[in-house]
Amino acid sequence: MAPLVLAIVLTLFPLGGQEAERAGVSSQVGLPLVMGVLTKAHASGSLEYRGRCDAGPGERFNFPKVQSPQKVPDDPVAALREIFADDQEMRVNRDANGFIRMTEGDVPHDLLEVRIRRIPFKDDKAFPPTDVRYVPRDAMWTILSKPEVSAFMRDHEIVRRFDFEDASGRRPIPSPGLPHLSDSLNDVSLSQALDNVLQTFPGLWIYENCPSKNSKRVIDFGIYANGPMWSVSNRQGGP
């Protein structure tokens, strides 16, 4: 398996260690291809796949198998289907809300469907009262730290790959001119909450579902915003 260094959104399939790991590529190869397409199309989406969660922090994600197209189609759905053409289980479609969904059929959705009563994105204890903005990564960890998510994971023996990572930490107070999330979300599923973040910060959330050597499910999540750096990466690299 190639090492991976970039962080995204992902979850473990309840394989109980009985199924072999799927061959994949480094996220340094796969992520720029996907993000380059989304950035060019000014589109957002999600990626759900079975990956590898037993690597060290420097090898965080095992991306699905991809190929670099000879000529990227203007239609982002067609472009992503070509990129994932070697992954027979990957389905790429655009949903009714305009999000592009990249999903392997064997990835469970139970955690993504957990309902969350309230998600506050404004934290007066951490930031001044006028600050209601989170960067995408902060927003993601705020969502994942909600009691409903923690309880479901505990009851179903699901563990995050890196429990020490959360929405806390030192970071600069954002400028009032930058995009801001709403103060809070109410009565949404986990996946709907992540979609909501992408409405403010267009890009990609990822949910990785990893084989485990014990009875527990191992998950990992990540989120990335579109930007010009992905277009440069996409032109310079490929499998």
- Domain borders along the chain are 25-236
169 backbone φψ class: left, alpha, beta (φ>0; ψ -120 to 50): left
Does residue 78 surpass a pLDDT of 90? yes
| 70 neighbors 239 (Cβ within 8 angstroms) | no
User: pLDDT of 92-138, one tens digit each?
Assistant: 999 999 999 999 988 999 999 999 999 988 766 666 665 656 788 88
Question: Cα dist. 6→63, 69, 160, 170, 226 in Å?
Answer: 10, 22, 16, 20, 14
**Single-letter residue type at 29:** V
Bridge-based pairing of strands 203-210 and 62-63 is unpaired
What pLDDT score was predicted for residue 22? Answer: 58
Q: Has this prediction a pTM greater than 0.85?
A: no
Interaxial angle between packed helices 136-144 and 190-200, expressed in degrees from 0 to 180 and rounded to the nearest 10: 170
Closest listed residue to residue 31, CA positions, set 61, 59, 70, 55: 61
Does residue 206 surpass a pLDDT of 60? yes
**What is the arithmetic mean of pLDDT over 134-150?**
90
User: pLDDT of 171-204, one tens digit each?
Assistant: 556 666 777 787 889 999 999 999 999 999 999 9
